[in-house]
Amino acid sequence: MNKVLAHAFFNRKMLLCIYTGFCSGLPFFFIVQLIPAWLKIDGVDIKTIGAFALTQIPYLCKFLWSPLLDKLSPFSLGCRKGWLFLTQIGLLIIMPMYGFLTPKNNIEIVVILSLLTAFISATQDIAIDAYRREILSDNELGSGNSIHINIYRISGFIPGGLSLFLADYLSWMEVFAFTAAFIVPMLLITISLKEPSHISVIHPDKSIFKQSINEFVHRQSFRNTLFIIAFISFYKLGDSLATSLATPFYLDMNFEMKHIGTVAKNAMVWPSLFGALLGGFIISKYGINRSLWISGFVQMFSILGFAFLSYEGPFLTINYTQLIILATVISFESIGVGMGAAALVTFIAKKTSPLFTATQFALLTSFSAIPRTLINSMSGVLTSHLGWTNFFSLCFILAIPGMLLLLKVAPWNSQS
Protein backbone atom coordinates (compact mmCIF):
# COMPACT_ATOMS: atom_id res chain seq x y z
CA MET A 1 0.00 0.00 0.00
CA ASN A 2 2.78 2.45 0.95
CA LYS A 3 4.66 1.62 -2.23
CA VAL A 4 1.55 2.23 -4.31
CA LEU A 5 0.97 5.64 -2.69
CA ALA A 6 4.64 6.54 -3.04
CA HIS A 7 4.59 5.68 -6.74
CA ALA A 8 1.32 7.57 -7.25
CA PHE A 9 2.48 10.79 -5.61
CA PHE A 10 6.27 10.84 -5.88
CA ASN A 11 7.41 10.64 -9.49
CA ARG A 12 8.49 13.07 -12.20
CA LYS A 13 4.96 13.75 -13.46
CA MET A 14 3.74 14.61 -9.97
CA LEU A 15 6.70 16.96 -9.52
CA LEU A 16 5.62 18.68 -12.73
CA CYS A 17 2.13 19.02 -11.24
CA ILE A 18 3.73 20.93 -8.35
CA TYR A 19 5.23 23.24 -10.95
CA THR A 20 1.93 23.71 -12.81
CA GLY A 21 0.04 24.40 -9.58
CA PHE A 22 2.52 27.07 -8.52
CA CYS A 23 2.50 28.68 -11.97
CA SER A 24 -1.30 29.01 -11.99
CA GLY A 25 -1.77 29.96 -8.36
CA LEU A 26 0.75 32.75 -7.82
CA PRO A 27 -0.67 35.32 -10.27
CA PHE A 28 -4.29 34.43 -9.45
CA PHE A 29 -3.86 34.96 -5.70
CA PHE A 30 -1.80 38.07 -6.46
CA ILE A 31 -5.00 39.47 -8.00
CA VAL A 32 -7.57 38.15 -5.51
CA GLN A 33 -5.66 38.43 -2.22
CA LEU A 34 -2.77 40.90 -2.36
CA ILE A 35 -4.43 43.58 -4.51
CA PRO A 36 -7.66 43.73 -2.41
CA ALA A 37 -5.55 44.08 0.76
CA TRP A 38 -3.56 46.88 -0.90
CA LEU A 39 -6.81 48.62 -1.88
CA LYS A 40 -8.30 48.17 1.62
CA ILE A 41 -5.24 49.60 3.37
CA ASP A 42 -5.18 52.59 1.04
CA GLY A 43 -8.76 53.40 2.03
CA VAL A 44 -10.72 52.14 -1.01
CA ASP A 45 -14.32 51.33 0.04
CA ILE A 46 -15.54 47.72 0.32
CA LYS A 47 -18.06 48.06 -2.56
CA THR A 48 -15.29 49.06 -4.95
CA ILE A 49 -13.07 46.25 -3.70
CA GLY A 50 -15.91 43.76 -4.26
CA ALA A 51 -16.55 45.10 -7.77
CA PHE A 52 -12.84 44.62 -8.42
CA ALA A 53 -13.67 40.92 -8.98
CA LEU A 54 -14.75 41.99 -12.49
CA THR A 55 -11.06 42.35 -13.35
CA GLN A 56 -11.10 38.54 -13.41
CA ILE A 57 -13.24 38.60 -16.58
CA PRO A 58 -10.34 37.25 -18.71
CA TYR A 59 -10.65 33.96 -16.79
CA LEU A 60 -14.24 33.75 -18.03
CA CYS A 61 -13.39 34.48 -21.64
CA LYS A 62 -10.17 32.52 -22.04
CA PHE A 63 -11.88 29.96 -24.25
CA LEU A 64 -12.15 32.68 -26.93
CA TRP A 65 -8.40 32.67 -27.60
CA SER A 66 -7.66 29.11 -26.40
CA PRO A 67 -7.73 27.73 -30.00
CA LEU A 68 -4.59 29.77 -30.66
CA LEU A 69 -2.77 27.72 -28.03
CA ASP A 70 -3.71 24.52 -29.87
CA LYS A 71 -2.32 25.97 -33.09
CA LEU A 72 0.51 28.50 -32.59
CA SER A 73 4.00 27.93 -31.18
CA PRO A 74 5.64 31.13 -29.81
CA PHE A 75 9.39 31.32 -30.42
CA SER A 76 9.05 27.85 -32.05
CA LEU A 77 9.29 26.33 -28.56
CA GLY A 78 6.04 24.35 -28.88
CA CYS A 79 2.34 25.05 -28.28
CA ARG A 80 2.71 24.51 -24.52
CA LYS A 81 6.28 25.49 -23.67
CA GLY A 82 6.25 28.54 -25.93
CA TRP A 83 3.10 30.02 -24.39
CA LEU A 84 4.31 29.27 -20.86
CA PHE A 85 7.55 31.12 -21.55
CA LEU A 86 5.76 34.09 -23.13
CA THR A 87 3.17 34.52 -20.36
CA GLN A 88 5.67 34.15 -17.53
CA ILE A 89 7.87 36.85 -19.04
CA GLY A 90 4.77 39.05 -19.21
CA LEU A 91 3.91 38.43 -15.54
CA LEU A 92 7.48 39.12 -14.45
CA ILE A 93 7.31 42.51 -16.14
CA ILE A 94 3.80 43.62 -15.15
CA MET A 95 3.51 42.59 -11.47
CA PRO A 96 6.10 45.09 -10.10
CA MET A 97 4.35 47.94 -11.98
CA TYR A 98 1.68 48.18 -9.28
CA GLY A 99 4.33 49.62 -6.97
CA PHE A 100 4.37 52.87 -8.96
CA LEU A 101 0.66 53.50 -8.28
CA THR A 102 -1.51 54.78 -5.42
CA PRO A 103 -4.94 53.06 -5.53
CA LYS A 104 -7.11 56.04 -4.54
CA ASN A 105 -5.38 58.33 -7.03
CA ASN A 106 -4.88 55.84 -9.87
CA ILE A 107 -7.81 53.44 -9.55
CA GLU A 108 -8.49 53.45 -13.33
CA ILE A 109 -4.89 52.49 -14.08
CA VAL A 110 -5.01 49.80 -11.36
CA VAL A 111 -8.12 48.32 -13.02
CA ILE A 112 -6.48 48.28 -16.47
CA LEU A 113 -3.29 46.77 -15.06
CA SER A 114 -5.28 44.11 -13.22
CA LEU A 115 -7.25 43.20 -16.36
CA LEU A 116 -3.96 42.81 -18.23
CA THR A 117 -2.49 40.70 -15.41
CA ALA A 118 -5.59 38.49 -15.43
CA PHE A 119 -5.42 38.15 -19.22
CA ILE A 120 -1.79 36.99 -19.13
CA SER A 121 -2.50 34.69 -16.17
CA ALA A 122 -5.58 33.18 -17.87
CA THR A 123 -3.54 32.54 -21.02
CA GLN A 124 -0.91 30.80 -18.92
CA ASP A 125 -3.68 28.68 -17.35
CA ILE A 126 -4.79 27.49 -20.79
CA ALA A 127 -1.27 26.26 -21.53
CA ILE A 128 -0.83 24.83 -18.03
CA ASP A 129 -4.09 22.85 -18.09
CA ALA A 130 -3.38 21.46 -21.56
CA TYR A 131 0.19 20.56 -20.63
CA ARG A 132 -0.91 18.74 -17.47
CA ARG A 133 -3.65 16.83 -19.31
CA GLU A 134 -1.18 15.73 -21.97
CA ILE A 135 1.49 14.42 -19.60
CA LEU A 136 -0.92 12.55 -17.30
CA SER A 137 -2.59 9.25 -18.13
CA ASP A 138 -6.24 8.76 -17.14
CA ASN A 139 -5.13 6.75 -14.08
CA GLU A 140 -2.86 9.61 -12.97
CA LEU A 141 -5.46 12.38 -13.26
CA GLY A 142 -6.70 12.02 -9.67
CA SER A 143 -3.33 12.26 -7.94
CA GLY A 144 -1.91 14.73 -10.48
CA ASN A 145 -4.80 17.16 -10.30
CA SER A 146 -5.07 16.95 -6.50
CA ILE A 147 -1.40 17.90 -6.24
CA HIS A 148 -1.84 20.68 -8.82
CA ILE A 149 -4.87 22.18 -7.06
CA ASN A 150 -3.37 22.07 -3.59
CA ILE A 151 -0.02 23.50 -4.66
CA TYR A 152 -2.09 26.10 -6.50
CA ARG A 153 -3.68 26.98 -3.17
CA ILE A 154 -0.41 26.78 -1.26
CA SER A 155 1.11 29.27 -3.71
CA GLY A 156 -1.48 31.73 -2.39
CA PHE A 157 0.56 31.85 0.82
CA ILE A 158 3.11 34.05 -0.97
CA PRO A 159 0.87 36.96 -2.10
CA GLY A 160 -1.82 36.27 0.54
CA GLY A 161 0.48 35.51 3.46
CA LEU A 162 4.18 36.28 3.19
CA SER A 163 3.75 39.43 1.10
CA LEU A 164 1.08 40.72 3.48
CA PHE A 165 3.38 40.09 6.42
CA LEU A 166 6.21 41.99 4.71
CA ALA A 167 3.86 44.88 3.86
CA ASP A 168 4.11 45.94 7.51
CA TYR A 169 7.87 46.43 7.11
CA LEU A 170 8.51 47.17 3.42
CA SER A 171 7.17 49.64 0.88
CA TRP A 172 4.51 48.40 -1.54
CA MET A 173 7.02 48.75 -4.38
CA GLU A 174 9.31 46.28 -2.58
CA VAL A 175 6.37 43.97 -1.76
CA PHE A 176 5.25 43.74 -5.40
CA ALA A 177 8.83 43.22 -6.62
CA PHE A 178 9.36 40.51 -4.00
CA THR A 179 6.17 38.71 -5.09
CA ALA A 180 7.09 38.94 -8.78
CA ALA A 181 10.53 37.44 -8.06
CA PHE A 182 8.88 34.05 -7.52
CA ILE A 183 8.16 33.97 -11.26
CA VAL A 184 11.90 33.57 -11.95
CA PRO A 185 12.31 29.92 -10.77
CA MET A 186 9.11 29.03 -12.65
CA LEU A 187 10.59 30.55 -15.79
CA LEU A 188 13.82 28.57 -15.38
CA ILE A 189 11.83 25.33 -15.10
CA THR A 190 9.80 26.28 -18.17
CA ILE A 191 13.00 26.66 -20.21
CA SER A 192 14.05 23.12 -19.25
CA LEU A 193 10.66 21.52 -20.03
CA LYS A 194 10.17 19.00 -22.79
CA GLU A 195 7.22 19.74 -25.07
CA PRO A 196 4.57 16.99 -24.67
CA SER A 197 3.29 15.06 -27.66
CA HIS A 198 0.00 16.19 -29.18
CA ILE A 199 -2.78 14.23 -30.83
CA SER A 200 -4.19 16.44 -33.56
CA VAL A 201 -7.07 15.99 -35.99
CA ILE A 202 -7.57 19.72 -36.43
CA HIS A 203 -8.64 20.80 -39.91
CA PRO A 204 -6.78 24.04 -40.65
CA ASP A 205 -9.57 25.33 -42.91
CA LYS A 206 -12.24 25.00 -40.20
CA SER A 207 -12.82 26.70 -36.84
CA ILE A 208 -10.94 24.90 -34.07
CA PHE A 209 -13.49 26.21 -31.57
CA LYS A 210 -16.41 24.79 -33.55
CA GLN A 211 -14.63 21.46 -34.08
CA SER A 212 -13.95 21.09 -30.37
CA ILE A 213 -17.57 21.85 -29.40
CA ASN A 214 -18.97 19.45 -32.01
CA GLU A 215 -16.68 16.68 -30.76
CA PHE A 216 -17.69 17.24 -27.12
CA VAL A 217 -21.45 17.35 -27.79
CA HIS A 218 -21.26 14.30 -30.07
CA ARG A 219 -19.41 12.36 -27.37
CA GLN A 220 -21.60 13.44 -24.40
CA SER A 221 -24.98 14.18 -26.11
CA PHE A 222 -26.56 17.64 -26.06
CA ARG A 223 -28.69 16.97 -22.95
CA ASN A 224 -25.77 15.67 -20.87
CA THR A 225 -23.62 18.58 -22.08
CA LEU A 226 -26.11 21.04 -20.56
CA PHE A 227 -26.10 19.20 -17.23
CA ILE A 228 -22.29 19.09 -17.21
CA ILE A 229 -22.07 22.83 -17.90
CA ALA A 230 -24.60 23.60 -15.15
CA PHE A 231 -22.77 21.42 -12.65
CA ILE A 232 -19.36 22.91 -13.43
CA SER A 233 -20.85 26.40 -13.07
CA PHE A 234 -22.46 25.82 -9.65
CA TYR A 235 -20.28 23.25 -7.88
CA LYS A 236 -17.89 25.78 -6.33
CA LEU A 237 -20.11 28.86 -6.37
CA GLY A 238 -20.73 28.99 -2.61
CA ASP A 239 -17.17 28.55 -1.37
CA SER A 240 -15.81 30.84 -4.10
CA LEU A 241 -18.09 33.68 -2.99
CA ALA A 242 -17.24 33.01 0.65
CA THR A 243 -13.50 33.46 0.04
CA SER A 244 -13.79 36.36 -2.43
CA LEU A 245 -13.29 38.97 0.31
CA ALA A 246 -11.31 36.83 2.74
CA THR A 247 -8.53 39.31 3.43
CA PRO A 248 -10.82 42.36 3.91
CA PHE A 249 -13.01 40.15 6.13
CA TYR A 250 -10.07 39.20 8.36
CA LEU A 251 -9.08 42.88 8.56
CA ASP A 252 -12.66 43.81 9.55
CA MET A 253 -12.43 41.24 12.35
CA ASN A 254 -9.47 43.40 13.56
CA PHE A 255 -6.72 40.95 12.62
CA GLU A 256 -3.58 42.72 11.43
CA MET A 257 -1.75 41.85 8.23
CA LYS A 258 1.05 40.23 10.21
CA HIS A 259 -1.55 38.01 11.94
CA ILE A 260 -3.06 36.99 8.59
CA GLY A 261 0.35 36.35 7.08
CA THR A 262 1.68 34.37 10.03
CA VAL A 263 -1.44 32.26 10.57
CA ALA A 264 -1.91 31.63 6.84
CA LYS A 265 1.62 30.23 6.69
CA ASN A 266 0.76 27.26 8.88
CA ALA A 267 -3.03 27.10 8.66
CA MET A 268 -3.05 27.01 4.85
CA VAL A 269 0.12 25.15 3.85
CA TRP A 270 -0.09 22.01 5.99
CA PRO A 271 -3.86 21.44 5.64
CA SER A 272 -3.52 21.97 1.89
CA LEU A 273 -0.79 19.35 1.70
CA PHE A 274 -3.02 17.01 3.69
CA GLY A 275 -5.90 17.86 1.36
CA ALA A 276 -3.74 16.98 -1.66
CA LEU A 277 -2.99 13.51 -0.31
CA LEU A 278 -6.54 12.98 0.93
CA GLY A 279 -8.15 14.20 -2.29
CA GLY A 280 -5.95 12.03 -4.48
CA PHE A 281 -6.51 9.03 -2.23
CA ILE A 282 -10.31 9.43 -2.30
CA ILE A 283 -10.35 9.77 -6.09
CA SER A 284 -8.10 6.73 -6.52
CA LYS A 285 -10.02 4.58 -4.03
CA TYR A 286 -13.63 5.62 -4.56
CA GLY A 287 -13.65 7.07 -8.08
CA ILE A 288 -14.36 10.58 -9.28
CA ASN A 289 -18.14 10.43 -8.68
CA ARG A 290 -17.98 9.64 -4.96
CA SER A 291 -15.03 12.00 -4.60
CA LEU A 292 -17.18 14.85 -5.91
CA TRP A 293 -19.85 14.06 -3.29
CA ILE A 294 -17.42 13.76 -0.38
CA SER A 295 -15.37 16.81 -1.34
CA GLY A 296 -18.51 18.83 -2.09
CA PHE A 297 -19.95 18.31 1.38
CA VAL A 298 -16.63 19.16 3.05
CA GLN A 299 -16.17 22.37 1.05
CA MET A 300 -19.80 23.38 1.64
CA PHE A 301 -19.63 22.99 5.42
CA SER A 302 -16.25 24.74 5.57
CA ILE A 303 -18.17 27.94 4.76
CA LEU A 304 -19.78 27.77 8.20
CA GLY A 305 -16.37 28.41 9.73
CA PHE A 306 -16.43 31.91 8.28
CA ALA A 307 -19.97 32.41 9.57
CA PHE A 308 -18.84 31.41 13.07
CA LEU A 309 -15.83 33.73 12.94
CA SER A 310 -18.01 36.65 11.82
CA TYR A 311 -20.53 35.89 14.60
CA GLU A 312 -17.77 35.94 17.24
CA GLY A 313 -16.08 39.07 15.86
CA PRO A 314 -14.99 41.73 15.39
CA PHE A 315 -12.56 41.25 18.25
CA LEU A 316 -11.61 44.14 20.52
CA THR A 317 -8.20 42.63 21.13
CA ILE A 318 -6.40 39.84 19.30
CA ASN A 319 -5.06 37.15 21.59
CA TYR A 320 -4.02 33.51 21.28
CA THR A 321 -7.62 32.26 21.31
CA GLN A 322 -8.65 34.44 18.37
CA LEU A 323 -5.60 33.34 16.39
CA ILE A 324 -6.50 29.69 17.04
CA ILE A 325 -10.03 30.34 15.77
CA LEU A 326 -8.63 32.04 12.65
CA ALA A 327 -6.21 29.16 12.07
CA THR A 328 -9.02 26.60 12.43
CA VAL A 329 -11.25 28.43 9.95
CA ILE A 330 -8.47 28.77 7.37
CA SER A 331 -7.40 25.13 7.86
CA PHE A 332 -10.91 23.74 7.39
CA GLU A 333 -11.41 25.95 4.34
CA SER A 334 -8.06 24.91 2.85
CA ILE A 335 -8.84 21.21 3.18
CA GLY A 336 -12.44 21.43 1.94
CA VAL A 337 -11.99 23.82 -0.94
CA GLY A 338 -8.77 22.09 -1.98
CA MET A 339 -10.50 18.72 -2.10
CA GLY A 340 -13.45 20.15 -4.03
CA ALA A 341 -11.25 21.91 -6.56
CA ALA A 342 -9.14 18.79 -7.13
CA ALA A 343 -12.24 16.67 -7.71
CA LEU A 344 -13.76 19.24 -10.09
CA VAL A 345 -10.60 19.67 -12.16
CA THR A 346 -10.20 15.88 -12.39
CA PHE A 347 -13.84 15.63 -13.53
CA ILE A 348 -13.20 18.28 -16.20
CA ALA A 349 -10.00 16.54 -17.32
CA LYS A 350 -11.85 13.24 -17.74
CA LYS A 351 -14.46 14.98 -19.89
CA THR A 352 -11.80 16.60 -22.08
CA SER A 353 -10.73 15.00 -25.34
CA PRO A 354 -6.97 14.84 -26.04
CA LEU A 355 -7.83 15.92 -29.59
CA PHE A 356 -8.70 19.45 -28.43
CA THR A 357 -6.99 19.65 -25.04
CA ALA A 358 -6.43 23.40 -24.64
CA THR A 359 -9.70 24.52 -26.19
CA GLN A 360 -12.06 22.14 -24.34
CA PHE A 361 -10.25 22.50 -21.00
CA ALA A 362 -10.37 26.30 -21.28
CA LEU A 363 -14.05 26.25 -22.27
CA LEU A 364 -15.11 24.00 -19.38
CA THR A 365 -13.05 25.83 -16.75
CA SER A 366 -14.46 29.13 -18.04
CA PHE A 367 -17.95 27.91 -17.17
CA SER A 368 -16.80 27.42 -13.58
CA ALA A 369 -15.46 30.99 -13.53
CA ILE A 370 -18.50 32.76 -15.02
CA PRO A 371 -20.89 32.63 -12.02
CA ARG A 372 -17.95 32.97 -9.62
CA THR A 373 -16.75 36.22 -11.16
CA LEU A 374 -20.17 37.75 -11.76
CA ILE A 375 -21.55 37.10 -8.28
CA ASN A 376 -18.20 37.82 -6.61
CA SER A 377 -18.32 41.29 -8.14
CA MET A 378 -21.42 41.85 -5.98
CA SER A 379 -19.77 40.55 -2.80
CA GLY A 380 -18.99 44.03 -1.50
CA VAL A 381 -22.59 45.16 -2.00
CA LEU A 382 -23.93 41.97 -0.42
CA THR A 383 -21.74 42.25 2.68
CA SER A 384 -22.56 45.94 3.16
CA HIS A 385 -26.30 45.15 3.13
CA LEU A 386 -26.37 41.73 4.79
CA GLY A 387 -23.45 41.90 7.18
CA TRP A 388 -20.74 39.24 7.27
CA THR A 389 -22.72 36.50 9.09
CA ASN A 390 -25.75 36.64 6.78
CA PHE A 391 -23.42 36.90 3.79
CA PHE A 392 -21.73 33.60 4.69
CA SER A 393 -25.12 32.00 5.32
CA LEU A 394 -26.07 32.97 1.76
CA CYS A 395 -22.81 31.40 0.51
CA PHE A 396 -23.76 28.14 2.22
CA ILE A 397 -27.17 28.15 0.50
CA LEU A 398 -25.57 28.84 -2.89
CA ALA A 399 -23.48 25.68 -2.50
CA ILE A 400 -26.60 23.48 -2.53
CA PRO A 401 -27.53 23.58 -6.27
CA GLY A 402 -24.15 22.18 -7.31
CA MET A 403 -24.59 19.28 -4.91
CA LEU A 404 -28.07 18.53 -6.27
CA LEU A 405 -26.71 18.40 -9.84
CA LEU A 406 -24.42 15.57 -8.75
CA LEU A 407 -27.50 13.34 -8.83
CA LYS A 408 -27.42 13.67 -12.61
CA VAL A 409 -23.77 14.12 -13.62
CA ALA A 410 -22.07 11.92 -11.00
CA PRO A 411 -24.49 9.54 -9.21
CA TRP A 412 -23.00 8.04 -6.04
CA ASN A 413 -23.48 4.43 -7.14
CA SER A 414 -22.27 4.97 -10.71
CA GLN A 415 -18.77 3.61 -11.32
CA SER A 416 -16.42 6.27 -12.64
Which residues fall within 8 angstroms of residue 90, CB to CB, at 6 or more apart?
120
pLDDT tens, residue by residue, 212-241? 888 888 888 889 999 999 999 899 888 888
CA distance 164 to 152: 18
Helix intervals (H) in 155-207: 157, 163-166, 172-180, 183-192
pLDDT of 82 above 50: yes
248/95: higher pLDDT: 95
- Do residues 120 and 90 lie in contact, with contact meaning Cβ atoms separated by under 8 Å? yes
Query: In this structure, is residue 287 part of a structural domain?
Result: yes
Reference 387, options 237, 245, 240; nearest CA is 245
Element (H, E) at 56: none
Q: Is 274 exposed, middle or buried (0-12, 13-18, 19+ CB in 10 A)?
A: middle
Query: Does the reported pTM lie above 0.85?
Result: no
> Running DSSP on this structure, what letter comes out for residue 387?
-
Sign of CA pseudo-dihedral 58, 61, 62, 65:
negative
Q: What mean pLDDT comes out for the span 133-137?
A: 85
pLDDT band per the 50, 70, 90 thresholds, residue 77: confident
> DSSP per residue over 302-362, as a string?
HHHHHHHHHHH-S-SS--HHHHHHHHHHHHHHHHHHHHHHHHHHHHHHHHS-GGGHHHHHH
Query: In this structure, is residue 128 part of a structural domain?
Result: yes
Start-to-end CA span in the chain (Å): 22
In this predicted structure, which of 25-29, 257-261, 358-362 has the lowest mean pLDDT?
257-261
pLDDT at position 27 is 95
CA distance 330 to 315: 17
Q: Is 97 exposed, middle or buried (0-12, 13-18, 19+ CB in 10 A)?
A: middle
Query: In this structure, is residue 415 part of a structural domain?
Result: no
CA Rg value for the chain: 20
81/72: higher pLDDT: 81
pLDDT tens, residue by residue, 296-339? 999 899 899 889 988 887 887 778 788 888 888 888 887 887 78
Q: What mean pLDDT comes out for the span 79-106?
A: 93
pLDDT tens, residue by residue, 264-292? 666 766 776 677 677 778 887 888 899 89
> What is the dihedral angle through the alpha carbons of 17, 19, 20, 23, rounded to the nearest 10 degrees?
160
- Do residues 40 and 251 lie in contact, with contact meaning Cβ atoms separated by under 8 Å? yes
The 10 Å Cβ neighbour count of residue 358 is: 31
- Do residues 349 and 292 lie in contact, with contact meaning Cβ atoms separated by under 8 Å? no
Query: In this structure, is residue 154 part of a structural domain?
Result: yes
CA distance 291 to 297: 10
pLDDT tens, residue by residue, 25-69? 999 999 988 998 898 888 888 778 877 778 888 988 888 888 888
| Count of helices and strands (H, E) across the chain | 23, 0
- Average pLDDT of the chain to the nearest whole number: 84
Domain that holds residue 248: 2-409
CA distance 126 to 257: 33
pLDDT band per the 50, 70, 90 thresholds, residue 1: very low
pLDDT at position 25 is 92
CA distance 337 to 387: 23
Query: In this structure, is residue 367 part of a structural domain?
Result: yes
CA distance 83 to 123: 8
Within its chain, how far is the Cα of 182 from the centroid? 18
pLDDT band per the 50, 70, 90 thresholds, residue 200: low
Quote the number of domains for the chain: 1
Query: In this structure, is residue 246 part of a structural domain?
Result: yes
CA distance 314 to 387: 12
Q: Which of 136-140, 168-172, 254-258, 361-365 is most confident?
A: 168-172
3-class secondary structure for 225-272?
Answer: HHHHHHHHHHCCHHHHHHHCCHHHHHHHCCCCHHHHHHHHHHHHHHHH
Which residues fall within 8 angstroms of residue 294, CB to CB, at 6 or more apart?
282, 286, 339
Query: In this structure, is residue 153 part of a structural domain?
Result: yes
CATH number at residue 282: 1.20.1250.20
Query: In this structure, is residue 414 part of a structural domain?
Result: no
pLDDT band per the 50, 70, 90 thresholds, residue 203: low
pLDDT at position 189 is 94
Task: Specify the length of the chain in residues.
Answer: 416
